[in-house]
Amino acid sequence: MRILFIGDVVGDRGVQMIQTYLPQLKRDLKPQATIVNGENSTPVGRGISQKIYKQLLASGADVVTMGNHTWDNKEIYDFIDDTTKLVRPANFPGKDVPGRGWTKLKVNQATLAVINLQGRVFLPPLDDPFAAADQLVTEIRKETPVIFVDFHGEVTSEKRAIALYLKGRVSAVVGTHTHVQTNDAQVIDHQTAFMSDAGMTGPAAGILGMQPASVISRFLNQRPARYEVETSEPGIMSGCVIDINDETGHATKIKPVLIDADHPYDR
């Protein structure tokens, strides 16, 4: 099985990059499943709308994952319970959290499970993601060994820790949230694919997708600032492609995907 994963889609420019390049990547890389993180995909860069969710699916996403901005666009409450293809962090506290923390899809004769988890370092204190992962993985492995984890976290140490903790029990742990693609893609002990952060998909000229002026101002004066999504060219699209043995659930290869001005897509 080959999985294509695309990192945090930011604003209108990110959705445009998905619409332009995702069909081309799928044509050339031929993944059997495509997962896109859409938690920053609204025009203001926080949350997701039903319209954008449908646009991501129409462009080729099979599953859309979320993160710490899951609830920022209140419209999500109107549709999250009606879909099996939108996954929010499984470790939100409480028993009656809308939506689902994982989903599954048939891929030829195999079943792929997709889990979304959120870290707790420098982020709101959700339930323990390690404990949540233990419970979910134990149950899911009764049905399939092919498990992909989008771990939405701030620090590389927490992401690396959960990848090592789940080594051999899941097929891949790929980080999101920091919007900068890391240079550490590997298959740990020939079992679990890992990458600290897949990077972002959106405007490349800003700071993590935001207009620079307000971000720089915040650093200079330490006062609250309203961040606005950068809308100018050029764009960037980041992610990775992972090959997995359907029978064992072990990853065999992971390779970064990067499209920007310095890495044009010329296939």
Q: Is 69 designated active site? A: yes
Q: Are 243 and 1 in contact (CB under 8 A)?
A: yes
Extract the tokens encoding 233.
């060219």
Extract the tokens encoding 82.
């009606």
Going from the C-alpha of 44 to that of each of 19, 126, 210, the distances in angstroms are 18, 24, 9
d(CA 99, CA 243): 28
Q: What angle do CA 237, 260, 159 make, to 5 degrees?
A: 45
Among residues 69, 152, 179, 250, the one annotated as catalytic is 69
Neighbours of 27 (CB within 10 A): 10
Count H helices and E strands in the chain, helices first: 5, 13
50-58 and 11-29 helices cross at what angle (nearest 10)? 20
For the chain, the first-to-last Cα distance in angstroms comes to 22
H-helix segments, the chain: 11-29, 50-58, 129-140, 156-165, 212-221
Give the closest residue to 36 by CA, choosing from 16, 76, 65.
65
Annotated catalytic residues are 69
